[in-house]
């Protein structure tokens, strides 16, 4: 999975601080005792940080970890180049990055932003009419 250079640097610093010697299992994220990080511990910490930072969704419902992934996907699509070919390539790259088995599972992110939905509608109309968007 592609990572930005700054992310690689931070992960290397983290690893040298918390995992100075590699075990056979070579876990990257560990708890205070050096054991595999369990989801419930990570989730509990996430919820504590959300509370401390007083974050919430516009609906007032509690933030979920998956909301971070969703926000990333929607913003990546919103920043994608316009035009049928460019959007198609961007969707394929995003689907791969998110680890989706097929591109169809990535398309539902399109209807979360009105601008993207308008772009898709415009491209669809152009396709049906036999012209390029």
48-60: pLDDT as tens digits? 999 999 888 888 8
- What is the per-residue DSSP string for 32-87? TTSSBPPHHHHHHHHHHHHHHTT---TTSPPP-HHHHHHHHHHHHHHTSPPSHHHH
Query: Per-residue pLDDT tens for 54-101?
Result: 888 888 888 888 888 888 888 887 777 766 567 777 778 888 888 888
Tell me whether residue 60 is in a domain: no
Q: The pTM is what?
A: 0.58
Domain identity same for 69 and 124: yes
Tell me whether residue 57 is in a domain: no
Q: How far apart are CA 78 and CA 106, in angstroms?
A: 13
Query: Per-residue pLDDT tens for 1-48?
Result: 577 889 889 988 887 776 656 565 677 777 777 788 888 988 999 999
Nearest to 67 by CA among 54, 50, 52, 81: 50
pLDDT at 9: 92
Domain that holds residue 102: 65-129
Domain count, the chain: 2
Domain identity same for 75 and 119: yes
Domain identity same for 77 and 121: yes
Four-residue CA torsion sign, 99, 103, 104, 107: positive
Domain identity same for 44 and 77: no
Domain identity same for 48 and 89: no
């Amino acid at each position: 999975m592609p990572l930005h250079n700054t992310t690689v640097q931070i992960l290397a610093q983290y690893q040298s601080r918390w995992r100075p010697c590699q075990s056979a299992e070579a876990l990257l994220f560990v708890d205070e005792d050096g054991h595999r990080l369990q989801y419930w511990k990570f989730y509990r910490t996430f919820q504590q940080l959300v509370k401390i930072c007083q974050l919430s969704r516009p609906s007032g419902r509690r933030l979920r970890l998956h909301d971070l992934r969703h926000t990333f996907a929607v913003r990546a699509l919103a920043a994608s180049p316009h035009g049928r070919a460019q959007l198609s390539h961007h969707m394929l790259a995003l689907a791969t990055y998110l680890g989706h088995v097929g591109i169809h599972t990535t398309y539902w992110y399109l209807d979360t932003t009105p601008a993207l939905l308008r772009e898709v509608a415009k491209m669809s109309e152009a396709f049906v009419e036999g012209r390029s968007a």
